[in-house]
Amino acid sequence: MDTWPNEAGFDVDYEEHEPIELTVRGEIPYYVAGTLYRTGPLGFKTKTDQNAEWAAAHWFDGFSCVHRFKIRFPKGSSAPEVTYNSRRTVDDMLETIRKTGKLDGYTFAKKRDPCEGFFRKVMSMFKPSPMVQNVGVTLSINMPGGGYTPGKEKSIVNGHSNGLSTLHLKTDASMMSQVDPETLEPRGICYQTKLHPRLTGQLSAAHAETDPTTGDVFNYNLEIGATSTYRVFQTSASTGETLILATFRGKPAYIHSLLLTQNFVVLCVWNSHISWGGLAIPYHKNVLEAIAPFDSSSKAKWYVIDRAGKGLISTFESDPFFCFHTINAWEEPSSKDATKTDIICELSLYNNLDVAHSFYYDNLISSHTSAKAYTREKRLSCLPHWAQFRLPGVDAQPMSSNPHPAELVYKADAMDSMELPTINPSYTMRKHRYTYGIANRLKSSFMDGIVKFDNVTKKTIIWDRQAHTPGEAIFVADPEGTEEDDGVLLSVVLDGIAEKSYLLVLRAKDLVELGRAEMEGPMSFGFHGAYMAAGREYVVDV
């Protein structure tokens, strides 16, 4: 395996608090004008006041940062201007680490403290422990219930895109962080109890689902206790009010995303169950160690919730798997009963939990001994598979309480699959053909290309460049287009040799580069983004 240099994407301290203009090469279509936000950790090490070095162990626990690319076309010009600014959002957390040399509270994965004995760990379970306010996995523009009032959006003033009012960061806990959409300065932390007083659980999906027609947002809230409780809820875009659609007991699990169709919410509790009925989290003080070993005899359970208020109406079971990211879901008439509906669900599936452990920095950074020792066989077990499931015969009325079998329709080869999957957002909740994502062809210790998967032909095309590491690809549609793939993909790519990043614009139809905007330094490898067109034609949160 080649070890493309990627240190600059992980061990990085480059940020620009004030917008700077980037060098544009090639062409950027006029309809890409708008604002692109990106999240991710900006470095993971800092010096303490005791002159020691503190370092996070896992990529998910790096120091959260928001990046902003503003793309505009000056009046009367076809030449775009692209500006970039960025800012860490964890000032208080960094100050605490520097003063104390440690980080208390809950994280995704942290190294054990060798001085912390069994008795101390057990006693700490019965004491309040602060949540580390390191929130920066996904973004929501104008999030319902987050202070955004429809009809009172800001116009283009002081650099704000038309219609851009609020910006929230989310993670897999039930808290959110609000930042200024322009300066990216933190404005404060809030919890889901602000949306509804019964959303008192600790966990939620970083990826809420949004109805593209109404703008309503759907998510779950998991309250871990003697018997763990899931609450699936809907927040109205028009009123900001939140309605709890269903409440039910279930195995607590780490669930990063869910699925939405025109009439149903689908929550799959895949095989990332939290040990000891959820008590493993306060014991370990992190999620990864609290997840039980993968059990190949334990089924994944799919819950179908009616959006019209009838609650939990059906459950399904499938062979076990793990997943970070769902892709899309839609409804089709049942082939067996015309009065019923089949739900088609697509996601990036893993055969086990190995991938979650592969994201320790030692395994990712190409120069580390651990990364070099990671064999091809180990990496193969960490690759996703594009997968499609069918939940057959769903009725608008509650079905029997016994789970029905979910059908695995197709599971693509790992070399044809992707992580951080995205689609043309106008096809959300509709049958679609193309999925985009970042590929891992085992050419490096991290991601190494951008992939387009055709779920009709089951063929893929790839964009890649030696030693260039891309991030999530966000689809921006051509307003004059007539096909699903008429548009472009936006991705931020690190040139590992030059140690500088660039905003890449690819034609979605064939992944041919149209243009790029070159940065002055490296942008840290991140997670997800959100895009708003300049004329507020649409918002894409992924």
* Domain assignment of residue 1, yes or no: no
> What is the rounded distance in angstroms from the CA atom of residue 176 to the CA atom of residue 89?
12
Tokens (6 digits) for 181: 């959409």
| Range of weakest confidence among 106-120, 147-161, 242-256, 438-452 | 147-161
* Domain assignment of residue 336, yes or no: yes
> What is the rounded distance in angstroms from the CA atom of residue 219 to the CA atom of residue 200?
14
Task: Give me the pLDDT at residue 111, please.
Answer: 56
Mean pLDDT throughout 380-387?
A: 96
Strand residue runs (E) in 19-93: 20-21, 23-26, 34-41, 45-47, 53-55, 64-72, 81-88
Tokens (6 digits) for 367: 């120069």
Residue 230 has pLDDT above 80, yes or no: yes
pLDDT tier, 154 (very low <50, low <70, confident <90, very high otherwise)? very low
* Domain assignment of residue 385, yes or no: yes
Amino acid identity for residue 146 in this structure: G
> What is the rounded distance in angstroms from the CA atom of residue 144 to the CA atom of residue 17?
28
Task: Give me the pLDDT at residue 146, please.
Answer: 84
Backbone conformation region of residue 535, classed left if phi is above 0, alpha if psi is from -120 to 50, else beta: alpha
Q: What percent of the chain has pLDDT over 70?
A: 92
Residue 3 has pLDDT above 80, yes or no: no
Q: Tell whether the torsion through CA atoms of 523, 107, 53 and 447 is positive or negative.
A: negative
pLDDT tier, 306 (very low <50, low <70, confident <90, very high otherwise)? very high
Mean pLDDT throughout 209-219?
A: 96
Task: Give me the pLDDT at residue 344, please.
Answer: 98
Q: Identify whether the C-beta of residue 177 lies closer than 8 Å to the C-beta of residue 188.
A: yes
3-state secondary structure of 146: coil
357 belongs to an annotated ligand binding site:
no
Phi and psi angles of residue 392, each rounded to the nearest 5 degrees, phi first: -85, 150
Task: Give me the pLDDT at residue 149, please.
Answer: 59
160 belongs to an annotated ligand binding site:
no
Strand residue runs (E) in 229-353: 229-235, 242-249, 259-260, 264-269, 300-306, 311-318, 322-333, 341-350
Q: Identify whether the C-beta of residue 488 lies closer than 8 Å to the C-beta of residue 468.
A: no
pLDDT tier, 402 (very low <50, low <70, confident <90, very high otherwise)? confident
- Please, is 513 exposed, middle or buried when counting C-beta atoms within 10 Å of its C-beta (0-12, 13-18, 19+)? middle
DSSP 8-state assignment for residue 425: G
Listed ranges 278-282, 361-365, 511-515; the one with the highest mean pLDDT: 511-515
* Domain assignment of residue 347, yes or no: yes
Task: Give me the pLDDT at residue 151, please.
Answer: 55
* Domain assignment of residue 2, yes or no: no
Q: Of 376, 327, 385, whose CA–CA distance to 352 is shortest? A: 385
Strand 167-170 relative to strand 539-541, pairing: unpaired
Residue 157 has pLDDT above 90, yes or no: no
Q: Identify whether the C-beta of residue 491 lies closer than 8 Å to the C-beta of residue 504.
A: yes
> What is the rounded distance in angstroms from the CA atom of residue 64 to the CA atom of residue 77?
36
256 belongs to an annotated ligand binding site:
yes
| Range of weakest confidence among 66-80, 106-120, 324-338 | 106-120
pLDDT tier, 153 (very low <50, low <70, confident <90, very high otherwise)? very low
Which H or E run contains 531? strand 529-533
Phi and psi angles of residue 95, each rounded to the nearest 5 degrees, phi first: -65, -40
Amino acid identity for residue 181 in this structure: P
- 């279930």: which residue's tokens? 250
pLDDT in tens, 99-139: 999 887 788 987 545 444 433 443 343 344 444 578 999 99
Domain that holds residue 433: 7-541
207 belongs to an annotated ligand binding site:
yes
pLDDT tier, 156 (very low <50, low <70, confident <90, very high otherwise)? very low
1-31: b (≥16 Cβ within 10 Å) or e: eebbbbebbbbbebbbeebeebebeeebbeb
- Please, is 116 exposed, middle or buried when counting C-beta atoms within 10 Å of its C-beta (0-12, 13-18, 19+)? exposed
Task: Give me the pLDDT at residue 510, please.
Answer: 98
Number of domains in the chain: 1
3-state secondary structure of 346: strand
